[in-house]
Amino acid sequence: MLDFTKDTDWYIAPYYFARKFGDTDDMIINSFFNEYHRNYPIDTLGVESDRSVIFSSMSVDGNARGAMLGLFDKRDSQLAGVISILNTDNERAAELKIYMLGDQLSVAVMINLLIWAIDHVLYCLNFNELYIFLDKRCIKLIRALSDLKFKSFKLLSTLNSDNQEAYLQIYFLNECQWLNDKTSDCISFDRAQADQYIQEIVRPYFQTCIAASMYAIIVDFRYETVMATNKTANSVGLTHWDETIGTSYKYYSRLDLTTWYFGERYNHKTAASIHHYARKIFRIQQYVFKTGHPASFIDSLPYDKGIRSYLVTYIPVFNSSGNVIAIQSIAFDYRLAGYHEYIQDILEQKKTVRNIFNIKLSKREEEVLFLLTCGITQEKIGEILEIKRDTVATIIKHQLCVKFSLPEVNTKLLIETALSYGFPFSIPESLWCPSVIILEEKLSNWILQYN
């Protein structure tokens, strides 16, 4: 089982990942900060003091609630940025400083970096308040912060040590406002009492269904799995439910976790989508905790290295004071081609009794047939499969129509006949891509507010 306290690489954006500094990184750190000084001569962020903190933190196990990480470009292993996360005198608060060199990175990459860093501080390191220090002269980084869809930051003004132009911008953020900018007062509850409620009330109730043939889990207010059914554990490649304890979508950027869960399905083509949708599920959980409303969605991430879809419903669990202290998740196998039953009911009156025979389709025939049943034109099918339109027509005329014993070439009749026999059985593997589909308008509108 994965150790969630172990250091790992964190996916930030295509080609970029964050990694905690190690003993051999002193040269690249010095090189980076020397270049930073050349770009920004006035030390507004306290670079030199932070540099010493970074080196001292590398020689010990480090602070469990702090981190010094580098943003690396995996194409050339170069250090593209430094992320400093430190405790403050107030144990509830942390300081986040991000160092970037000029316009090296795109705004999109910086937005993803900021989102990950804030989520990491608030939910993985469990701080409640965050001070973000940015250098105004790093224009793209300032723009990235302003481009975040949620506007929950409070700008604190300050001047540099020479009392000249203010180069330093400090932003303050409280966790309860991170994804809820309409919240005026932060609602809090006693975590010890919440844990006790889960232990004494929720656990005995859920204990009775651990061996049941169903997908179900309990996620606590830390966004971590505390209980699950054995069937849920089996669906992600585990053998017993207690192996799921501590798993969480708040780790949506952990590279070791995604590699372990998704195997060969996790690659350079799917990485961005998988991390994006894992973060989306994390946001859905936050919606339930912050609004107290249930949520439903279709989860098509390749758990246990397979292609399956689940219809998932999150139900808030309230304590005696009316606070949401947990989520119960219920999931069902979901057939994306589930429209078959509806179509077959329509066709039933016209359908003559036929002997069911075994029709074998090639990979390409399955792809063309699936796209046809989705209402895609032959021209578009050619574009999707990267083949000529004439080739699509040939497959339909000389292969599909023949295999389904049609007297003439008729696309509409081909689709009706194929559906009457239960084709397509599922999305062809070659056309599959990870996705999370939200089924409720209210939830969809809420998610659209946030990255």
Q: What is the pLDDT of residues 45-56, one digit of tens each?
A: 666 666 666 665
pLDDT given for residue 163 in this prediction? 44
Q: Measure the CA–CA gap between 273 and 279, rounded to whole angstroms.
A: 10
User: The tokens of 222 are what?
Assistant: 């830390």
For residue 4, pLDDT beyond 70 = no
Assign 3-state DSSP to the chain and report helix, strand, coil percentages, each to 5.
Answer: 40, 20, 40
Q: What is the mean pLDDT of residues 106-132?
A: 92
pLDDT tens-digit profile of 173-197?
Answer: 888 878 765 544 566 778 999 999 9
pLDDT given for residue 294 in this prediction? 96
Neighbours of 59 (CB within 10 A): 8
What domains can be seen in the chain, in order of their start residue?
A: 10-178 (3.40.630.30), 191-335+435-448 (3.30.450.20), 340-350+359-425 (1.10.10.10)
SS3 228: strand
Q: Provide the b/e sequence for 85-104 (b: ≥16 CB within 10 Å).
A: bbbeeeeebbbbbbbbbeee
Q: Measure the CA–CA gap between 284 and 398, rounded to whole angstroms.
A: 47
For residue 202, pLDDT beyond 90 = yes
Neighbours of 157 (CB within 10 A): 8
From residue 334, alpha-carbon distances to 57, 301, 420 in Å are 48, 12, 20
Sign of CA dihedral 130, 136, 140, 143: positive
SS3 325: strand
Catalogue the E-assigned strands of 136-233. 154-156, 168-174, 215-220, 225-228
Catalogue the E-assigned strands of 164-318. 168-174, 215-220, 225-228, 295-299, 310-318
Q: Measure the CA–CA gap between 216 and 436, rounded to whole angstroms.
A: 18
Q: What is the mean pLDDT of residues 79-95?
A: 88
Q: Measure the CA–CA gap between 42 and 107, rounded to whole angstroms.
A: 24
pLDDT given for residue 60 in this prediction? 42
Which secondary structure element, helix H or strand E, spans residue 402, and what is its range?
helix 401-403
Count of helix runs (H) and strand runs (E) in the chain: 17, 14
CA 47 to chain CA mean position, Å: 32
User: The tokens of 338 are what?
Assistant: 């589930």
Length of the chain, please?
Answer: 451
User: The tokens of 121 are what?
Assistant: 């501080």
Q: Measure the CA–CA gap between 335 and 309, rounded to whole angstroms.
A: 7
**Crossing angle (nearest 10°) for helices 255-262 and 271-291:** 110
Determine contact, residues 391/415, Cβ cutoff 8 Å: no
pLDDT given for residue 142 in this prediction? 84
**Window from 130-139, 342-351, 371-380, 420-429 with minimum mean pLDDT:** 342-351
Q: Could you check whether the bond before residue 424 is cis, i.e. omega within 30 degrees of 0?
A: yes
Its pTM stands at 0.83
Which secondary structure element, helix H or strand E, spans residue 73, and what is its range?
strand 67-73
Residue recorded with tokens 């359908």 = 351
In percent, how much of the chain has pLDDT > 90?
A: 43
Residue 305 dihedral angles phi and psi, to the nearest 5° = 65, 25
Task: Look at strands 310-318 and 215-220 and give their pairing.
Answer: unpaired
SS3 191: helix
Q: What is the mean pLDDT of residues 9-18?
A: 96
Instruction: Give 277's pLDDT tier (boundaries 50, 70, 90).
Output: very high
For residue 58, pLDDT beyond 60 = no
Neighbours of 111 (CB within 10 A): 21
For residue 72, pLDDT beyond 90 = yes
Sign of CA dihedral 446, 13, 178, 249: positive
pLDDT given for residue 187 in this prediction? 66
Determine contact, residues 96/131, Cβ cutoff 8 Å: yes
